[in-house]
Chains A and B, each alone.
Chain A
Amino acid sequence: MSGYQPLSREQLAQRIADDLPDGVYVNLGIGMPTRLARCLPRDREIILHSENGILGMGPAGELEDLDLINASKEQISLVPGASICDHVVSFTMMRGGHIDITVLGAYQVSASGDLANWDTGTPDAIPAVGGAMDLAVGAKQVWAMMEHTSKKGEPKVVERCTLPLTGAKVVDRIYSDLARIDVTPQGLVVRAMVPGLDPDTLQRLTAAPLHFDVRVGGYIA
């Protein structure tokens, strides 16, 4: 287990942000994905949506205002060209296929793109789904941002999810701290790996069969 270094959360956020094309509407899920807002490429216009009715979200500024918050209830600002709408319209954007890409955190992703990201399965946890299921079903593309294995070293990319599902067959891409993997009709296809990581090691850390089509050189931020 030597010779390679997983991406830090900052590096992973940067790596995903660098893959966002110019002119897309993007929703960042709560938790890790909100980091992307701080490292968007400056040479592209990427319009951020927040489920509470904000299109054109910018980073927190000097102003403190409880009516300008994101889905994680953090302070944000509005960029020139921003618009505000109510929840009916906001979830129409999310569920109706109008958001180009959503980047969501994930507890588990399966080989067929099933996503588990809302319920850790802890028996006494209070059920809380928020907008995760609407986004998973409705965004044009779902990118899962995740650590490749759990803190205990268990694979989080799996043949079948054991945790409660958020959506079935919804994930298009997996960005883990070790690799970028596409979910295709033929199964999971690895497109990039961190430098020094070999296919056998990545397969050992993954509980579903991987195909390798590494065209991009390294997987670095």
Chain B
Amino acid sequence: MLDKTVATLADAVKDIRDGATLLVSGFGASGIPTELLVALLEQGARDLTVVNNNGGNGPAGLSQLFLAGRVRKLICSFARSANPAQPSAAAFAEVYRAGKIELECVPQGIMVERMRAAAAGLGPFFSPVSYGSKLAESKETRVIDGKGYVLEQPLPGDYAFVKAQHADRWGNLTYRYAGRNFGPVMCMAARTAIVQVDRIVPLGSIAPEHVMTPGIFVKRVVQVERQEGSA
């Protein structure tokens, strides 16, 4: 019997080793697997490379891993607080300014497409995004038919932490509204995708045409009770 459900958050993250590359879903406050990140803090893995669109979002989760010195490098499109009045990436700014973390700033869509390339068995690819900018300075470029391109490398993960809405025991997933964001591509690009969901539902209760991530891309699912009023 195929059963990917895991009883506890601690079980879901127990084998993550030092030096792992971790893909973390979420955009703003939406779709962030905060409880998995807190479980990883307790588990203790360090020297991590984290791929996340933002430099954390508020004090819980990724920010705790930054402050605890667990993250060696962040690959990210927008590591600054979007709204200075509500600094969501303050912890990242602190460790970055102290020289304790490396940052690779990547255009958001290229971050996505690098993960998709890894997921789809493709090699490096040429993209026009960032050509002529300082983000392309250390990369190979080529002019093809008069248009400039930058060579981008696939970005696979050892693990993905993703938040979804419903899962069945085969790992089929649905997501809530824009909480989907990076979840599907990160599940596909990681060797082991670990998904926290609001609810584990009986096999067959998600209509096949409504499955957003097919279970083949998911290794573990763990249920986290949804707090009223939170996303």
Contacts and interface: CB of A to CB of B under 8 A. Distances in A.
Contacts of B184: 86-88
A88 B185 contact: yes
A88 B212 CA distance: 13
A166 to B, nearest CB: 7
A92 to B, nearest CB: 8
Given A86-B181, A87-B112, A131 B28 contact: no
B126 interface: no
The CB with the most chain A CB atoms within 10 A, among B88, B108, B112, B184, is that of: B108
A85 interface: yes
Contacts of A129: 77-78, 105-108, 135
A164 B130 CA distance: 11
A20 interface: no
B113 A84 contact: no
A68 B28 CA distance: 10
Interface in A123-181: 124-134, 137-138, 164-168
Contacts of B88: 73
B65 to A, nearest CB: 17
Contacts of B128: 137
Given A88-B185, A127-B79, A128-B77, A53 B178 contact: yes
B186 to A, nearest CB: 9
A198 B188 CA distance: 58
A69 B177 CA distance: 10
A35 interface: no
Given A53-B181, A66-B231, A126-B93, A131 B82 contact: no
A50 B110 CA distance: 17
Interface string A74-95: 0000100000111110010011
A67 interface: yes
Interface string B122-135: 00000111111111
A82 to B, nearest CB: 10
Interface residues of A, number: 42
Given A86-B185, A124-B97, A164-B134, A131 B30 contact: no
B220 interface: no
Contacts of B127: 95
B96 A126 contact: yes
A68 B178 contact: yes
* Best-buried of B97, B148, B181 by chain A (most CB within 10 Å): B181
A133 B131 CA distance: 9
Contacts of A60: none
A81 to B, nearest CB: 15
B66 interface: no
A44 B41 CA distance: 51
B155 to A, nearest CB: 13
A130 B28 contact: no
B70 interface: no
Given A66-B28, A91-B108, A168-B132, A30 B82 contact: yes
A18 interface: no
Contacts of B107: 129-134
Interface string B174-190: 01111111111100000
A51 B108 contact: yes
B135 A133 contact: yes
26 contacts: A30-B82, A54-B178, A65-B231, A66-B30, A67-B30, A67-B231, A72-B82, A73-B29, A84-B180, A86-B182, A87-B184, A88-B113, A91-B112, A94-B109, A124-B97, A126-B96, A128-B79, A128-B80, A129-B106, A131-B109, A133-B107, A133-B130, A134-B107, A134-B110, A165-B133, A168-B148
